[in-house]
Amino acid sequence: MIIALILSGGTGTRLGSDIPKQYIEAGGRPVITYSIEQLYRHSGIEAIQIVADPAWQGKISNWLTAYGFSGKFKGFSRPGGNRQLSILHGLEDIREYAKESDYVFIHDAARPLLTKKQITDCIESVVGHDGVLPVLPKDTVYLSTDGKKITELLNRSEIYAGQAPELFRLGSYYEANCRLLPEQIWQINGSTEPAILAGQDVVMIPGDEGNFKITTKEDLERFQKIVDAEVHSA
């Protein structure tokens, strides 16, 4: 079984809105519902767990019902003090109904342009591995130890940017996160880091440039334009 863990506990303060970015309407519906729809409709995803603040759980439940996406929904998990602790809370709840050999598909609610192909690529590529990480190549990058002067030119052919979604074997990934408690987990910036620190086999696959995360007002406007264009071309 593959369980989607949707991270929707962020506050989105950089957007300058009182409403967290994943709940703002775009194209007449909340941003979070776009990725939920893709996961709900994909035959490879059998269950959905959502990390969300209790204040929003009722509204999310209503949206799931209103848009017909409640069939695979298993429950809510509480947000943690940082992104990785939110993931850990989700893993703990998922383990109540899933097997250690099952997989967890981690995705951000603020990445609404998740595609069926990206989901399929992750699922097909994880076979024989502990996890899958979509990556994007980077332009020329530099190392600076003081933030003022360039210290070293890095080889861009060896540098990649990790991207959500990510897919991991549930049992071993949960254990990798538990090993970071209580302090080290606060220093984790990316979902794949615990797996790498635990020496797990994580394969890279091509990411999707279009699957950007809504972080700023400009990102939201960009997504709105994409949605509007799709509506007008329909």
Q: So what's the pLDDT on residue 142? A: 84
Q: So what's the pLDDT on residue 13? A: 57
- For residue 211, the tally of other CB atoms under 10 A from its CB is 20
Cβ contact 110:21 at 8 Å: yes
Cβ contact 119:105 at 8 Å: yes
> Encoding tokens for residue 163?
């991207």
> Encoding tokens for residue 114?
């998740």
Q: At what angle do helices 116-125 and 32-41 cross, to 10 degrees?
A: 50
User: What span, in angstroms and rounded, lies between the C-alpha atoms of 64 and 37?
Assistant: 9
- For residue 137, the tally of other CB atoms under 10 A from its CB is 11
Q: So what's the pLDDT on residue 230? A: 78
Q: So what's the pLDDT on residue 176? A: 98
Q: So what's the pLDDT on residue 139? A: 79
User: What span, in angstroms and rounded, lies between the C-alpha atoms of 225 and 231?
Assistant: 10
> Encoding tokens for residue 136?
């994007």
- For residue 27, the tally of other CB atoms under 10 A from its CB is 16
Chain centroid offset of residue 173 CA: 15
Q: So what's the pLDDT on residue 83? A: 94
Per-residue pLDDT of the chain (234 residues; tens, 9 = 90+): 999 999 998 765 555 567 899 999 998 999 999 999 999 999 999 999 999 999 999 999 999 999 999 999 999 999 999 999 999 999 999 999 999 999 999 999 999 999 999 999 999 999 999 999 999 987 788 888 888 889 888 888 788 888 899 999 999 999 999 999 999 999 999 999 999 999 999 999 999 999 999 999 999 999 999 998 876 665
Cβ contact 61:69 at 8 Å: no
> Encoding tokens for residue 153?
């030119």
Q: So what's the pLDDT on residue 159? A: 83
Give the total residue count for the chain: 234
Cβ contact 91:104 at 8 Å: yes
Q: So what's the pLDDT on residue 5? A: 98
Q: So what's the pLDDT on residue 11? A: 64
Q: So what's the pLDDT on residue 15? A: 58
Q: So what's the pLDDT on residue 14? A: 57
User: What span, in angstroms and rounded, lies between the C-alpha atoms of 180 and 183?
Assistant: 7
